Chain A
Amino acid sequence: MDGNYSFRKNLSAFFIEIGELTGFAGRFFQELFSRPFEFREFLRQSYNMGNKSMLLVGVTGFILGLVFTLQSRPTLMEFGAVSWMPSMISISIVREIGPVVIALILAGRIGSGIGAELGSMKVTEQIDAMEVSGTNPFKFLVVTRILATTLMIPILVILGDFIALLGSALVENLKGNVSFTLYFNQVFNTLEFSDLFPATIKTFFFGFAIGLVGCFKGYNSKKGTAGVGKASNSAVVFTSMLLFIIDFIAVFITDIFYP
């Protein structure tokens, strides 16, 4: 009986949160098109998110390509299909693994960072101070950050995909004596518009989700340092779940248009 009550309570809290998140997203679009535009802050956020995530994305991408190729090589060799390696790796990375893995890594870095930053600003009354200064804190803090993640995540994913392919090409060069030129020729011959376009479009949604949830959790965090930690943590958990849901929907829609 208690378990049933607890489940119903949690389910109800979940749907209330979804409703609040939807309202928060609605407010984002409402404020996005109203003046003044906080362009300087948007550029600052984009620079911080992009520049400071490049190393993480580069290392993750490189290891991803390297490991994926090393692990796939024996199986492909067994079937005498090792020459298909560049095609297989490029399609897997560009279509699915690159965007999802890099978005998850960035949800951890950027999403939790936004959650913690806004949460601590709320707790220490910095958001109130901003409002009293005659600034719309939602516009200054939330709109700029969501916009920055929406635009920067696709760029970082493209960079990560490219570095992953470099890692894969390195393995092929060392193990299979395949030149970089030959490897990338095969990659570009394999990849089509239908591989690149939907994969890139979905990364905009990934970026939007990372920024939206991070801001939502931080902006609505409860008082106290525990609230800041919780905001940061739940931003990552909620975003990760949302990324898989978006990915599922994106794959489903892509399959309709490019069967």
Chain B
Amino acid sequence: MKEETKNTVINIQDLHKGFGENKVLNGFNLQLLEGENLVLMGKSGSGKSVMIKCLVGLMEPDSGKVEVLGREISTMKRQELDELRADIGFLFQGSALYDSMTVRENLEFPLRRHTHKFDLENTDELVLEALNNVGLPHTINMMPAELSGGMQRRVALARALILKPKIIFYDEPTTGLDPITAKEIILLMLDIQKKYKTSSLIITHDVDCARVISNRMILLLDGINYAEGSFEELSASKDPKVMAFFK
């Protein structure tokens, strides 16, 4: 029991979040273990993105406990939260690259914010290492608008990785990509997980993505964990609500 607590990198208990009358999360629970790839599936508007935003302090929950790397998010001061964020990588759904900056500047941006963790003299080395990880070193001086959707997603992944985070959040990593590029991104995510031993929380609708990448899955329905288990267990379920996710 003690060892399990030690290996838990994210611990969410009884999370509630609503917007006026619309209650999005109604007592959601989640534990992400070290080195694990946990996939969270749910219908659009089921609160997946809201939950992930509560995890990084972009939204404040109405009630419940949100612990990341053993630290309670809601009690942290801004500076403490910023320091914690150096250990978290976030791949946004639409890549969210800063379009007024080059690829190099996009990747340097988090480094310049966390000078306590990195020596700024080595930024070139770190930027190139991150771009090599995603197979795009030649794009270093390009603007995001010059890149295809798949390349933007890879650069965003490189940016999420540059601080060598302990946890990575993927918000719909394959949405909007063609099947071949989506597969490339999934394989890249697996490579990264193996190389850096990161723990990953993946929000996706993509069943193929979930099948390849997940160690464990949670189905989010009506703001609660409706079902939990491995891909094989859940895909074999006879529950019509669970089956609907795998059709």
Contacts and interface: CB of A to CB of B under 8 A. Distances in A.
Interface of A: 117, 120-121, 124-126, 128-136
Given A134-B85, A134-B86, A129 B96 contact: yes
Interface string B47-58: 000000100111
B86 A132 contact: no
Contact of A133 (B53, B83, B85): B85
B53 to A, nearest CB: 8
Interface of A is mostly: helix
A126 B96 contact: yes
6 contacts: A125-B92, A125-B96, A129-B97, A130-B98, A134-B83, A135-B82
A122 to B, nearest CB: 11
A21 B90 CA distance: 31
Contacts of B93: 125
Given A117-B100, A126-B99, A128-B58, A134 B92 contact: no
A127 to B, nearest CB: 9
B178 to A, nearest CB: 20
Given A117-B100, A135-B113, A129 B90 contact: yes
A124 B176 CA distance: 14
A134 B113 contact: yes
Interface string B93-111: 1101111100000000110
Contacts of B194: none
B113 A132 contact: no
B239 to A, nearest CB: 33
A170 to B, nearest CB: 38
Contacts of B85: 132-134
Contacts of B100: 117
Contacts of A133: 85, 109-110, 113
B2 interface: no
B197 interface: no
Contacts of B90: 129, 132
Nearest to A44: B100
The 9 closest A-B pairs by CB, nearest first: A134-B82, A129-B96, A125-B96, A134-B113, A133-B110, A132-B90, A125-B92, A134-B85, A126-B96
A128 B92 contact: yes
A126 B95 CA distance: 9
B138 interface: no
A243 B209 CA distance: 54
Contacts of A130: 98, 109
A117 B85 CA distance: 25
Contact of B96 (A117, A128, A136): A128
Given A132-B90, A134-B114, 20 more contacts: A120-B99, A124-B94, A124-B99, A125-B96, A126-B96, A126-B97, A126-B98, A128-B92, A128-B96, A129-B90, A129-B96, A129-B97, A132-B56, A133-B85, A133-B109, A133-B110, A134-B83, A134-B85, A135-B82, A135-B109
A222 to B, nearest CB: 14
Contacts of B98: 121, 126, 129-130
A124 B78 CA distance: 23
Nearest to B81: A134
A125 B160 CA distance: 14
Contact of A131 (B58, B94, B97, B114): B58
Nearest to A127: B96
Interface in B176-212: none
Contacts of B39: none
A128 B78 CA distance: 15
B88 interface: yes
Nearest to B59: A128
Contacts of A124: 94, 96, 99
A136 B97 CA distance: 17
A121 B53 CA distance: 17
A41 to B, nearest CB: 11
